Chains A and B, each alone.
Chain A
Amino acid sequence: MTPSRAIASPARGRRRLMRAETIAGYLFIAPWIVGFVFLTLGPFVASFALSFTKWELLGAAEWVGLRNYEQMFVHDPRFWLSLYNTFYYVVVHVPGTILIALTASLLLNRPMPGQALYRTCFYLPSVTSGVATAILWIWIFNQNYGILNQVLRLVGLAPVPWLESTRWAMPSLILMSLFGFGPTMVILLAGLQSIPKHLYEAAEVDGANGWARFRHVTVPMLSPTLLFVAVMGVIGSFQVFTQAFVMTGGGPAGATLFYVLHLYDNAFKYVQMGYASALAWTFFVIVLAFTVLQLRISRRWVYYEAEPPT
């Protein structure tokens, strides 16, 4: 055996071993990859192609170019209505949820008796069945006997037709959704608890009062968590569907017709799969744009502890 062979042989063996391990690794993740390709990526790509076709489930899809998009932007007033309704919901619901969740998490971050009970209570609406919650809220919003209007009457105000007027239907759904702040609260609470105590102590030593500690310690240290809940909240809120589907069916008079409900109608009621795919892709672009925008803006206000001082 020559010296060069003696050196090359272990190297080849290592390469072979690495190759074998690579193959084994791929085989182990193959079920997930196959599932992802066929059940997620495949339909994802197919829906993009379908968005340029007229396809009514059966038979060949007919290529229509950009006509679905033209129909959407130019000829479909329900598209604009649903987009407006969805924006309305997102713009009010996301900040509202974060504000309530932050308040609750700040309260629950203090040592107090019954803390665990409060946490459970606040989280409970989030784990209750959506349909059951909707039915409960239908009673709460009842114009004649609902508890909300009873309270309004007690303070001398006129009852509100919560789900029966185009003016109040959307605020009603948002109000109901705000009670699902539990998951956001838990995430923020975890964020609060990870803020080092010595920062507060240092601020206190510097004479910072409660507001100053909140503003200059809590908010910056919590900002990555706030960004996370904001991004996830916006994405989730854009996809709002169940409340309107169960409680209002998009009414009255289209006042709660959300984008996903409109998409659902086109896909499963009108069987216009091509148009529904175009709606889905437009929606994807809108949500993506908002997410990118949020991430861009976040550079101005999110503080990462590990980042080098500027």
Chain B
Amino acid sequence: MRAISRRELLQTAFGFAALSALAACGTPPTPTAAPTRPAEPAKAADAPKPAEPTRPAEPTAAPAAPTKPAEPAKAAEPSLAATPPGALTKPAVAAAAPPKSAAPVTVKVFSNWTAGPRNEFMKWVKTTHEAENPNVTVDLQFTAGSDPFLQRLYTEIAGNTMEDLAMMWGRDACKFMDKGAFLDLTPIMQANKFGWELYLKSDPASFILNGKTYGLPHMYTTPLLVANLSMFEKAGISYPKDDWSWNDFLAVAQKLNKPGEQWGYHGPLVGYNPSETWSAWVWGNGGEMINEERTKARWDMPETIEAVQWAVDLRNKHKLMPDQSDLKAMQGVGIDPFIGGKVGLLYANVGGVGNWNTQIKDFKWDIVPFPLSPKGKRVLWNSQSGYYAAQNTKVPEDAFKVMTLIVGERGMKQVGAIRATMPSFRSAAYDTSGWLKKPPEHINLSVDVIDSGRPQPWSFKKAQEWYDATIKELDFAAIGEKSAADACKAATAAGDRVLQS
């Protein structure tokens, strides 16, 4: 055997390296650009008629109202132990299976539902779709946590490598809708007779731009006011009436408050999304946070200032709420003050229902109406996440079929039944054997407030920046270092600076 010289060795190595680099620059092998099957008529459950999305209603006096779980609700997820019979059912095998000769297709789906029932639901989507479409592989991609998930998604969008489908909040999606990141679903929705009217009233700005639909609603979030009824009973307080007022609410919270032992009320206040923190109080009181055109902050409205002062007084004057340091300390070790039985009234959101159902064992709890403001109004926010398809997906129709399994009636009913979140699909949200199944007794309040609610003002490009500038100023009021009037004045100026830059 001839000995190889160093030069030859290096030349060969270099050659291999160059070839490897060239190979790496090639097109990734999946998903294949296989021709997709012609769209089949959608099943009754998943195929509504095309329609325009409804505009959000103007604030009105609403019936009973619920609210949102602040930080705690995000932490854990309901366990499968609570899964009602029939939830996450095994897929019926392939009645509508395509011919076995159909070319193999891979649909990549990106989500941050990495644990608990939410993750089980994603697995159900994969199993079900693959069973019904043997030529399709659903490739689930996950990244846990909000920030890492978004960082990966943004990077993929920038690199034009977004998965075929990805879940996003409307506030994030709207940053990319006009940039051609997402597939215009309008034609495929029309072809599949899939319309908007079967969804709960959602924020068009999160999904639609210039008449084109880029996403479909998935999680639907509304705020909830939740009560520890055992604490109520002990204090001799009855379940609140639908027309109870802010002052009634304050009186109840004060009665439940026992310094050093339990808090009368807990809700978002410091350093939190101002829309969720303040809108229930501000809108109810007839105020605004930002104008309709998203060009001017409205924190300087007298009604807004009055509402902010009232909300911060709950903490600073009436001492009804846990300190921020208490909350952080408890969150750090996974303690939820409401689930731990230390909070009488909690301002949270529907995302917490599953947790409360499965984790609260030692006391009775229920959703109670949000109190009416001195103006006699109750206006609650709502927000939606959605699923969006990549503009450059090679398998648009297959991707759409997977999307409609996730956000269509079948998927949404599963989601509601296991309490993974409140479904955005109307019939699933009102499903009495699913989302509306008791307990809690007044779960209906989560959906009753929708028609009178308003979308969070977050689906505009500078929303996050505007929020952060605003939070900084309103925090001064929240921690009691400034009056609401001064903080709101500064928040208006800071917000305007962002909006007008």
Listed in ascending order, the chain A residues whose CB lies under 8 Å from chain B are 20, 23-24, 27, 56-59, 71, 75, 77-78, 134-135, 138-139, 141-146, 161-166, 247-254, 257, 265, 268-272
Contacts and interface: CB of A to CB of B under 8 A. Distances in A.
Contacts of B465: 265, 269-270, 272
12 contacts: A27-B14, A57-B157, A58-B176, A75-B501, A138-B325, A138-B328, A138-B329, A142-B329, A166-B481, A250-B271, A253-B476, A253-B481
Contacts of A135: 332-333
B181 interface: yes
Interface stretch (B26-34, B135-143, B363-371, B467-475): B467-475
A56, A163, A253, A271: most-surrounded residue (chain B CB, <10 A): A253
Contacts of B471: 251
Given A163-B325, A163-B328, A268-B147, A57 B154 contact: yes
B179 A58 contact: yes
Nearest to B155: A57
Nearest to A143: B325
B275 to A, nearest CB: 15
A164 B324 contact: yes
A166 B14 CA distance: 59
B13, B181, B323, B325: most-surrounded residue (chain A CB, <10 A): B325
B182 to A, nearest CB: 10
Nearest to B260: A144
A20 B179 contact: no
B151 interface: yes
A77 B325 contact: no
Given A20-B6, A247-B328, 19 more contacts: A27-B10, A57-B157, A58-B176, A58-B179, A58-B181, A71-B501, A142-B326, A144-B323, A145-B329, A161-B323, A166-B481, A248-B271, A250-B472, A252-B271, A253-B472, A253-B479, A254-B472, A268-B147, A268-B154
8 closest Cβ contacts across the A-B interface?
A135-B332, A58-B179, A253-B475, A254-B472, A251-B271, A57-B158, A143-B325, A142-B325
B176 A270 contact: no
Contacts of B479: 161, 164-166, 252-253
Interface residues of B, number: 42
Contacts of A71: 501
A222 B229 CA distance: 67
B476 A166 contact: yes
A57 B271 CA distance: 27
B464 A269 contact: yes
A249 B268 CA distance: 15
Nearest to A71: B501
Contact of B325 (A56, A57, A161, A254): A161
B7 interface: yes
Given A146-B325, A252-B479, A271 B6 contact: no
Interface in B142-173: 147, 150-151, 154, 157-158
A251 B6 contact: no
A268 B151 contact: yes
B332 A138 contact: yes
B325 A144 contact: yes
Interface in B460-500: 462, 464-465, 468-469, 471-473, 475-476, 478-479, 481, 494, 497
B150 A268 contact: yes
A58 B332 contact: no
Contact of B472 (A58, A134, A251): A251
B494 A77 contact: yes
B175, B179, B180, B329: most-surrounded residue (chain A CB, <10 A): B329
Contact of B179 (A56, A77, A139, A142): A56
Nearest to B501: A75
Contact of A163 (B150, B324, B333): B324
B228 to A, nearest CB: 21
A147 B306 CA distance: 37
B175 A165 contact: no
Interface string B200-242: 0000000000000000000000000000000000000000000
Nearest to A262: B468
